[in-house]
Amino acid sequence: MSGPILRRYAAAGAWDEVEVRAYKNDDAAPYRDVTRRVLFEHPELACALRYFEVAPGGHTTLERHRHVHAVVIQRGRGRVLVGSRVEAVAPFDLVEVPPLAWHQFRADADAPLGFLCMVNAQRDRPELPDAATLARLREDPAIAAFIRVDGGAATG
Ligand code: MN
């Protein structure tokens, strides 16, 4: 679908005529306090550009998939897990999530974390970690301390 030519930036994490959506439509995927805005999505362009915002203390789903994420941090502060690395991030850091890398984004306790994320328009469904995968990930103490698999909080 194609939208207006210009949508003005209205406020932190908000654009004119861009609705705030639930982070995921999948109720089984655990996450906490994340919203999603689809900024660009056009049939002539084989990708989509979304803006996600994680509220202070919140986190995205721990997941992996074949498709790639190209992420630009826009707002706030947080940390990310990509593969075996846990790193602090701030505007305008770039984060690339390769195929099948386990990943999760967390906002710091006292700041939101807003980021742009480009993905393939046609993409595979995320895979969630099973118990054996979680046990293997937790063999690394930094990853064990980082990952969150709880959810159920409001989406915005
Ligand atoms: Mn993902």
Ligand 1 center to 151 CA (angstroms): 16
pLDDT at 154: 45
Task: Kindly give the pairing relationship between strand 78-82 and strand 85-89.
Answer: antiparallel
Residue 1 has pLDDT above 90, yes or no: no
pLDDT at 71: 98
In terms of Cα–Cα distance, which of 61, 59, 37, 60 is closest to 49? 37
Residue 155 has pLDDT above 50, yes or no: no
Ligand 1 center to 133 CA (angstroms): 16
Ligand 1 center to 6 CA (angstroms): 28
pLDDT at 2: 65
Ligand 1 center to 17 CA (angstroms): 25
Please state, rounded to an integer, the average pLDDT across all residues of the chain: 93
pLDDT in tens, 58-96: 999 999 999 999 999 999 999 999 999 999 999 999 999
Ligand 1 center to 69 CA (angstroms): 7
Residue 27 has pLDDT above 90, yes or no: no
Residue 117 is a catalytic residue: yes
What share of the chain in percent tops pLDDT 90?
84
pLDDT at 90: 97
Contact 105/58 with Cβ under 8 angstroms? no
pLDDT at 4: 84
**Exactly one of 117, 146, 147, 151 is catalytic; which is it?**
117
Where do the domains of the chain lie, and which CATH numbers do they carry?
27-146 (2.60.120.10)
